A and B are shown apart, each in its own frame.
Chain A
Amino acid sequence: MRVKVLSRNPDDYVRETKLDLQRVPRNYDPVLHPFEVAREYVRALNATKLERVFAKPFLSSLDGHRDGVNCMAKHPKSLSTVLSGACDGEVKIWNLTKRQCIRTIQAHEGFVRGMCARFCGTSFFTVGDDKTVKQWKMESPEYGEEEEPIHTILGKTVYTGIDHHWKEPVFATCGHQVDIWDEQRTSPKCSLTWGFDSISCVKFNPIETYLLGSCASDRNIVLYDMRKSTPLKKVILNMRTNTLCWNPMEAFIFTAANEDYNLYTFDMRFLESPVMVHMDHVSAVLDVDYSPTGKEFVSASFDKSIRIFPVDKGHSREVYHTKRMQHVITVKWTSDNKYILCGSDEMNIRLWKANASEKLGVLAPREKAAMNYNQKLKEKFQFHPQIRRIARHRHLPKSIYCQIKEQRIMREARRRKEMNRRKHSKPGSVPFVPERKKHIVAVVK
C-alpha cells in the first residue's frame, strides 16, 4: 500500500547562499501573463532606447605621432599591443591597456608605407619610401643597445605595401611589382607582374595561405597564386581600389575599398560581379579590415569617418566620427572582436568599441541574460517603425550629412535620367544594369 503524504524537499525552495536568488515557483499559464506582444514591444522599445543611450563607442585616443598615421599592424599574439607607422617614418608600438606608447623607432626616411608583424609575433617588417624593407624585433632593445633593424633589404623601387605569410617565413611586398621574399634571403623568391602600374596593396589569404590579392593603380584587383608563382585573374573596376582585405572565416571572400566611395565584396571564384556593394561613405574609402569573426568589417574613409558594415548588408550598421578626427587612413579590428583602432591624418590613433553600446568588463549572469534578451527583442521588433527609427538614428557631422544628401540627390537624378532615357528609346536598347554590375569594367583572364 502506498501512503501519499505531502513532501517538501528543501532543495526545491531553499537557496544555497543568501546571494542566490529566491526560487520562486512560476506559473506559465498564458492566461496569467496576458498582452505578451505588447509588453515585449515595450521592452524592445526600451532596450533600443537604452542601446542608443549607452552608445558611447569612443574609448581613447593614442597620441604621440608627429605626423599622420599611415599604417598599423596588429600583434598576432598579444591583444594589448599594436604597431603604427607614421608619415614621417616613425614607428610606434602601443600598449592598449595602458594606452601608452611603449616604443618609438625612427624606421624610415619619408613615409612608412606599410608594416606587418610576423606570424609568431617576435618581429615585424616595415617598408618605407626610402626603398627599404626592414625587419625589427618586437621587444625593445636592451639598455645601451642601439635601436637597429634585424635585417634591411635595399630595393630598387619604392615599396608601397607589405604583408606576411600566415604560417611560413615568407612575406610579400608590392610596389612596382609583387615580390615574394624568403626571410632569409635578400632577393625576392619570385616577382609577379601583370601590367605596369604601381601596386598599392598586397594581402595574403589567411586561410588558403598561398593566395594573394593585390590592387593596383590602374583600377584593377589582381589575384596571385604563390605556389605557381603566377597571377590568376584580374578585375578592372571603374575606379581605383585602395586596399583589400580577406575574410578570415570565408576563404574565397574579400572586400575591396574603392575610390568611388564604395566597398565591394567579391567571391574570388566569381569575379564577374561582386557579391555585395557596400555604399555609405561619401568619400574615397582608404582602408578596410575584417572582424575576426568574419561577420563584419570596418572601413576607414577620407570623409573623416569609419563605418562598420555587416558582410551581407549593403549599408553600414554604425558610423563613428569625432570632431577632431580627420581623414582616416588606416583602420584595424582587434583580434578579440571587441575594439576598433583607426589611425588618421591628425596624428592620432583612436580606440573604439566595435559594439557601441556594449558594456565593458565582467557581466553578472543576470546582466548577461538581460543583455541577450534585449538583443533578441531588438532583433525581433526591428521592423517596427518606431523602434527602427530609434535604432537607426545616428548623429553625423554636418559635412558628411550634407554630402550624403547631395549623393542621394545625385543618385536620384541619375536614376531619373536613366529612366527617362529608357522611356524615350527603343525598348530593350537601354538595359537595366544591376548595381553590382555597374562598377565592373572587365575581368581579364
Chain B
Amino acid sequence: MAEQEAAAAAGSGSDSEEGEDGERRHRQLLEAISALSGRKRRKLAERSEASGQVSEFNVSCKGAGEKLLLSELLQPIHPKSTLGSVRKELARVKQKAAVELPLSKEEAKRVVREAAYVTSSKEVGKWQQVVLQNRRAEQLVFPLRQDIATVTPLERVTSAWKARTPLEQEIFGLLHKTQQPITDPLLTPEEMASVQAMSLEEARRRRAELQKARAVQSYYEAKARRAKRIKSKKYHRVLKKSRRRQALKEFEQLHKSDPAAALERLEELEQLRMQERMSLKHQNKGKWARSRAIMAKYDLEARKALQEQLARNKELMQKVQVEPPEEEPCEVPEEDTTALPMPSGANPWMLGKPSGLAPEPEAQEGPRDDTVPGAVESKDEMEEEEEELSEEEALLQDFEQKRQQRTGNPKGHSKDHGADETETGAEQPRDSPVPPDCAEELRDSPVPPVCAEELGDSPVPPDCAEELRDSPVPPVCAEELVSAGLEPPPQAQEELLLSEQLRHVKTMEDMESLAKEELVEEQEKLVALRPGKRARQQEKASMSVSRTGDRHTKKAAAKRKMISLEAVLDGKPQEMDCSSLPVVLEEEEGGIEQRGMITEAFAGDDVVADFRREKRKAEEALKPQPVNLVLPGWGEWGGTGLKPSAKKVKRFLIKAPPAPPRKDQHLPHVIMSEKRNIHAAAHQVSELPFPFERHQQFEQSMRTPLGPTWNTQRAFQKLTAPRVITRAGHIIQPISAEDVPDTAPGSGARLEGEAMPGRKAVPRGKAGPGGKAVPRGKAVPRGKAVPGGKAVPGGKAVPGGKAVPGGKAVPRGKAVPRGKAVPGGKAVPSGRTVPGQKAQPRHRRAR
C-alpha cells in the first residue's frame, strides 16, 4: 500500500518536477521503505559527485563548505549536564557582534576631518548674528571696544581714604559728630527721610507752591518797601484808615461767628473812637487845618481836604447809637444789594451815594451819616490807594483771593466783593478826571464798571488795577447777570466759576483758551449793549475812561474776529481734506474706468470726438504759460482787496515765447508726447538701481532732502551720519568675544536684538531699501522735479513699472520750466495718462 502511495507520489512527482527533485523523492521513498521494515539501517555513504575533500573513511564531505554554527555545537549538550555553565557563557558570547575591520588610513583621516569641520564650522557659525548685525548696522564706530574712562564713585574714594593728620582727623570728627554725610548721596539722615517720604509728584507740587509763595512774598516785600518810602502823610493817613476798615470788617465777621467776642471788640473799637475823638485831631484847630483854611479860598484841593477833615470830625463827634446786635447781619445783605444798580432806588444809601459824589460838601455829608463809618473810610482810602496800586499789587491780591477761595471762605469773600463793588462804584468817578455828571451817568447806567473788565486782559493801567484786584473772577459774569436782571446770590461768583469749569475741557490749555474766548464773547455782548445806552445818555464819548474802555473793547473785538477767522481757516480745510479729496480721486479713477467701459460698450460711438478733445487738451497743457512778475504793493498801495493796476500787470506779465510747432501738428490721428526732454534725459536715471524694488521707493529716496537748508540741525546730523566712524590714531583690533558683551561666543546662540558695543542705535525709520523716512513728516509727494524719477517717454516702458495711474494728483504743481535742464525734471502730468501709448489703440478703434 505504501509502495503504491509512493509510486503514486513518484508518478505525480515525475509529472511536474525535474530530475533533481526526482532524486530527492527517490531518497524519501527509500527512507519510507526502510521505515516500513521497522529496523534502522545504517546508511551507506556513497560518493555521488566529485569533491575536493575526499574522506578515506567514507565520511561525507557534504557540509564542508557550510559554516559551523555555535548553536549546532551546543545542541547535544543536555541542560542538566556539567557543561551547562559553558553553554551559558557561550550563549552570551553569541550575542556580541563581531568587531568590524578598521578603516583604511585615508578614510579614517577623512572621517576625522569631516567631524572636525562640522564642529568648527558650527563654532564659527555662532558669529553669524553678530556679523549680520554689523553688516546691517546704520553706524559702526571703530574701535569696537571703546576705552571708557571709568570714574570711581566718590564714596569708594572716600571710604578708601583715611584721615591721618590731626587736622584731617579733627575735621572728620566734626563731620561725623554732625552726621554730615560724606558719601555720594550728600544728604543728612533727615533729608533722606524727607526725600523718602515725599514722592516726586508731591515734591513737584510742593516746589511749585513754594515758588509761588516766594514770589508772593517778594511782591509783598517790594510793596512794603515802596510803601515805607512814601513820605506822603496823606498816604499814611489813608493807610491807617484802611487798617481801621479792615479791623471793622474783621469785626463784622467776628460778630457773625462769635457775638461775645465781637462785643468785646466793639468795646475796643469804641475806645479807639473815643481816643481819636479826644485827640481833637480832626477839628479845624490844628496847624495844618488852619493853613488849609487860609488856602481854601483859592485852592480847590485845600478846600476839599478841609471838608474831609471836617466831615471826619463830624463823624467822630457824632453820637453813637448802640445798635441792637440783630441789625448787623441785616446790614450785610443790604450791602450786597447795594452792589445791584437798582434804578428804583429803594435803598436810600444807594440813592444818596451818587449825589454824595458831587463836590458839594453838604451833599456829601448826608449819606455818610447813615452808613457805617468804615464804608466812608474805605472810600477815602481807595481814592488814594488807586495811585499807589500797581499791576503787581493787583496780581498779588488776586492771588491772595484765589487762595482764599481755594481754602473755602465763600461767605467772607462774597461779602468782601460786595463791599468792594460798592466801593468801586463810589470812588471811581472821584479820582477820574471826569466831571461829576458824567460819572453819575456811569453810575446810573445798569452796567457800571464795564471798563473795569474791559481792561481786564490788557496791561492794567493803575486806575483800573483796583477793580481788578477787587474782582478776582471776571466781573463780566456778575455784570452780565446783573444786566440780565438776575439777582446774584451771595455765592454768585463761585457758581459762575463753577459753571465755567463745567465746560467740557480736558487740558489746562483748553481751559485757558476757552476762558479767554468766553471773556471775549462776553465783552462783545457788552459792546453790543453799550452803544445804545450811550446814545440814550446823550453824553460825549470823550470821557477818558469810557474811551479807554471802548478802545479795549475794540481791541478785544478785533482779537475775537481774528480768532474766529483763524478758526474758520483751521476748520474748513480739514473738513475738505477729509471728505472731498479722496472722493475726487475716486471719481476720477472711477470715471476713467467707467469711460473705458462705456466706450467699449458703445464702441464707435463718439471716439473720434473724444480723441480730438483729448488732443486739444494735450495741446493746451503744453502751451507755454505767461510768467506773472507783478509784485502787488510795489510802487503803489497794496493790501487785501486791492489789485495791482492794469498798467503794471501789462508791464510785468511776460508772455512766453510761442512753443515750437508740435510734432503731431499735421497728424490729426496721433498725439505725440512732447514731454520727453532729451536734454534732461541725459541726467536722469534710466533704470531702477539695485537695492530698490519699486520706482516709488527710489523716487521717495530722491525726494527726501538731506541738507541743512531743509532739515533742522539735529535731523541733518542724523541724516548725514557716516556709516563707519574710525578714530585717527586708534588701532582697530579684530572683533573678539569681549566686544560682544552679552554672550560669549562659547555659550549659546546670540540673540538678534543684542546690542553691539560701538554701535549707535540711530533711529532712522527706514521704510525699505532706500526708502528713507521723511524727516519732516511730509509724506505728501510734492509735485516737483525728481531727478531720477524718469520722465515717461512716449512709448518707452520703464523697467520700474511706471504705470502712472490715471488720477495721480500732484498737489502742488511746481512745474520746472521746460527750458531748464533740471536733472531729472520729472514731469508726470497730474490726472493724465501717457498720451503716446493711449493714442494708438484708440485711433485704431476709431478707424
**Cβ-defined contact, A40 with B707, below 8 A:** yes
On whether A28 and B711 interact (CB within 8 A), knowing A248-B735, A373-B716, the answer reads yes
B142 touches A292 (CB 8 A): yes
Contact size range, A: 35 or more
* Interface pair B142/A337, CB less than 8 Å apart: yes
B:105-135 near A, CB below 8 Å: 109-110, 112-114, 116-117, 120-121, 123-125, 127-128, 131, 134-135
By beta carbon, the residue of chain A nearest B726 is A337
Complex: A232 Cα to B109 Cα, angstroms: 10
A338 and B709 within 8 A (CB): no
Task: Give the dominant DSSP class at B's interface.
Answer: loop
CB-defined contacts of B511 to chain A, threshold 8 Å: none
Q: Does B785 contact A (CB under 8 A)?
A: yes
Choose among A26, A39, A166, A233 the residue that contacts B734 (Cβ–Cβ < 8 A): A166
**Residue among A79, A206, A208, A268 with the most chain B CB within 10 A?**
A208
Could you say which of A1, A228, A294 contacts B468, with CB atoms under 8 Å apart? A1
Closest to B143 in A: A292
- Enumerate chain B residues within 8 angstroms of A269, measured Cβ to Cβ: 121, 124-125
**Stretch among B291-299, B543-551, B614-622, B683-691 lining the A interface:** B683-691
A360 to chain B: closest residue by CB: B728
- Interface stretch of the complex, out of B221-229, B345-353, B717-725: B717-725
Contact with A along B351-388 (1 / 0, CB 8 A): 00000000000000000000000000000000000000
The answer for the CA separation of A338 and B398 in the assembled complex, in Å, is 69
Contact at A37–B707, with CB atoms within 8 Å? no
A381 at the interface (CB under 8 A from B): yes
Which one of B131, B398, B711, B814 contacts A250 once the chains associate, using CB atoms below 8 Å?
Answer: B131
* Assembled-state Cα–Cα distance A373/B720 (Å): 5
Nearest-Cβ distance from residue B322 to partner chain A, whole angstroms: 44
List residues of chain A with CB within 8 A of the CB of B121.
232, 252, 268-269
A3 to B721, CA, bound (A): 44
Asked if A157 is at the interface of the complex by the 8 Å CB criterion, the answer is no
Q: Which residues of B contact A252 (CB under 8 A)?
A: 121, 124-125, 127-128, 131
Known A385-B682, A445-B110: A337·B732 in contact at CB below 8 Å: yes
CB-nearest residue of chain B to A3: B459
- Asked if A336 meets B730 with Cβ closer than 8 Å, knowing A384-B683, A445-B117, the reply is yes
Residues of B within 8 A of A386 (CB): 682-683, 823
- Contact check, A380 vs B730: say whether CB atoms are below 8 A apart: no
Q: Which residues from A are CB-within-8-Å of B735?
A: 207, 248-249, 251, 294
For residue A211, CB closer than 8 A to chain B, the reply is yes
* A231 (CB) vs chain B CBs: closest residue: B113
The A interface, classified by DSSP as helix, strand, loop or mixed, is loop
Interface residue tally of chain B, by bracket?
A: 35 or more
Q: Which residues of A contact B786 (CB under 8 A)?
A: 37
Q: Is the CB–CB distance between B705 and A40 below 8 Å?
A: yes
Docked CA distance A373–B718 (Å): 10
Q: Tell me the smallest distance from the CB of A119 to a CB of chain B, in Å.
A: 10
Which residues on the A side are within 8 Å of B686 (C-beta)?
385
Q: Which residues of A contact B682 (CB under 8 A)?
A: 385-386
Closest Cβ neighbor of B132 among chain A residues: A250
Query: Interface centre among B683, B724, B745, B823, by most A CB within 10 Å?
Result: B823
Q: With an 8 A cutoff between CB atoms, is B315 at the interface?
A: no
Residues of A within 8 A of B214 (CB): none
B310 CB-CB contact with A under 8 Å: no
The contact sample of 14 A-B pairs, CB cut-off 8 A, is A1-B394, A26-B712, A28-B712, A30-B710, A39-B709, A228-B116, A231-B113, A292-B732, A293-B726, A293-B732, A372-B722, A381-B702, A383-B685, A384-B683
Interface residues of B (CB under 8 A from A): 109-110, 112-114, 116-117, 120-121, 123-125, 127-128, 131, 134-135, 140, 142, 391, 394-395, 398, 459, 468, 682-686, 689, 701-703, 705-712, 716-717, 719-722, 724, 726-736, 745, 776, 778, 782, 784-788, 814, 816, 822-824
7 nearest A-B residue pairs (beta carbon): A292-B732, A206-B734, A248-B734, A36-B705, A232-B117, A383-B689, A251-B127
